[in-house]
Structure 1
């Protein structure tokens, strides 16, 4: 029946959106299946018709988080690497607890503890991010360096309890990306 398939897909999407938000803000260990299902406004039983385990949910939620974070970027951004860094390394991105943050930065320290399925999804998400950066430069090395500065900068700035220092770190990483962008076309190796 068409309604049931549509309903099942809608339920899975609600679960994934719930899990993506909760996991990116709190990590794998601090979030339970019950918490995910409560936020999705579904029963725990619905979980088992979509996912084989919490780890399976986590892997799929990382992918969902990456897609949702990509969709929330400002219209016409990124036009270039500098605009991309300005948006990505913003205080709003770091501090916003109500919209989907980037799982690459928000889960970087959590991924190493996970299984191969989760690491594979994280790797694919990182490669997609680098491809996005690569579309803004002709130099793959600049794309890689910029991606690392953005993801690492956001992750570190979020981990700090000193807002002024955190802001300084974000600003320094933006300058770093801008500096790399200014080397466009030159040999940076």
Structure 2
């Protein structure tokens, strides 16, 4: 039976969405093709009608996730410092720690991206540099924008490593306070 183009596109989108959530929650390398397809109710063999390899899927996930992060965290023109502050509060929050599957891909998949092929790393670099450029315009400082971006991702990684929610919260609030102070002093 032949499926319509729109059905194939919808299935591909479901696969991307489900695979991204699994990758952020469990690590992309830890989930096989059969597990990825089972999550959307299909057999492993159907995977190859959407992607030529698991690596191609990973590249598509990285591009999709980082473009969505860019939209959430400040895509367009330079934003206000108030909007940047709201982004930081959202990013450095317990719901973001607890719900890795629906959050930013960098804290959970950053190490896998770093080990990926050059094409995937170039896609990631493009999106990250676009976010950096936006924040740099807002802050009028390229170095402060890199520092904030790096500290946010690192703080989320450290908070997720902790077991005690109180310690997780301390990591997040300390990072937010320090970043807020640096922004205010700039």
TM-score of the aligned structures, taking structure 1 as reference length: 0.82
Q: Which residue of 2 aligns with 1:89?
A: 92
In structure 2, C-alpha distance between the alignment counterparts of 1:103 and 1:153, rounded to whole Å: 14
Q: Which residue of 2 aligns with 1:187?
A: none
Pair 1:78–1:5, CA change in 2 (3 A): farther
Q: Which residue of 2 aligns with 1:109?
A: 111
Q: Residue 94 of structure 1 contacts residue 157 of structure 1 at CA under 8 Å; is this kept in 2?
A: yes
Q: Which residue of 1 aligns with 2:141?
A: 139
TM-score of the aligned structures, taking structure 2 as reference length: 0.83
Offset at residue 56 of structure 1 (A)? 0.9
Offset at residue 160 of structure 1 (A)? 1.7
Deviations 1:126-179 (A, max 9, x none): 223324433532222221111111111111111222322221111111012212
Q: Which residue of 2 aligns with 1:38?
A: 38
Pair 1:40–1:134, CA change in 2 (3 A): farther
Number of equivalences: 179
Q: Which residue of 2 aligns with 1:164?
A: 166
Q: Residue 24 of structure 1 contacts residue 106 of structure 1 at CA under 8 Å; is this kept in 2?
A: yes
CA RMSD in angstroms, aligned pairs only: 2.5
Q: Residue 149 of structure 1 contacts residue 176 of structure 1 at CA under 8 Å; is this kept in 2?
A: no
Pair 1:159–1:121, CA change in 2 (3 A): farther
In structure 2, C-alpha distance between the alignment counterparts of 1:172 and 1:165, rounded to whole Å: 10
**Higher-helix-fraction structure:** 2
The worse-fitting range, judged by mean Cα deviation, of 108-117 and 144-153 is 108-117
The worse-fitting range, judged by mean Cα deviation, of 151-160 and 123-132 is 123-132
In structure 2, C-alpha distance between the alignment counterparts of 1:32 and 1:125, rounded to whole Å: 27
Q: Which residue of 1 aligns with 2:76?
A: none
In structure 1, C-alpha distance between the alignment counterparts of 2:94 and 2:143, rounded to whole Å: 26
Deviations 1:94-135 (A, max 9, x none): 1125x5210111112333332223322332332233244335
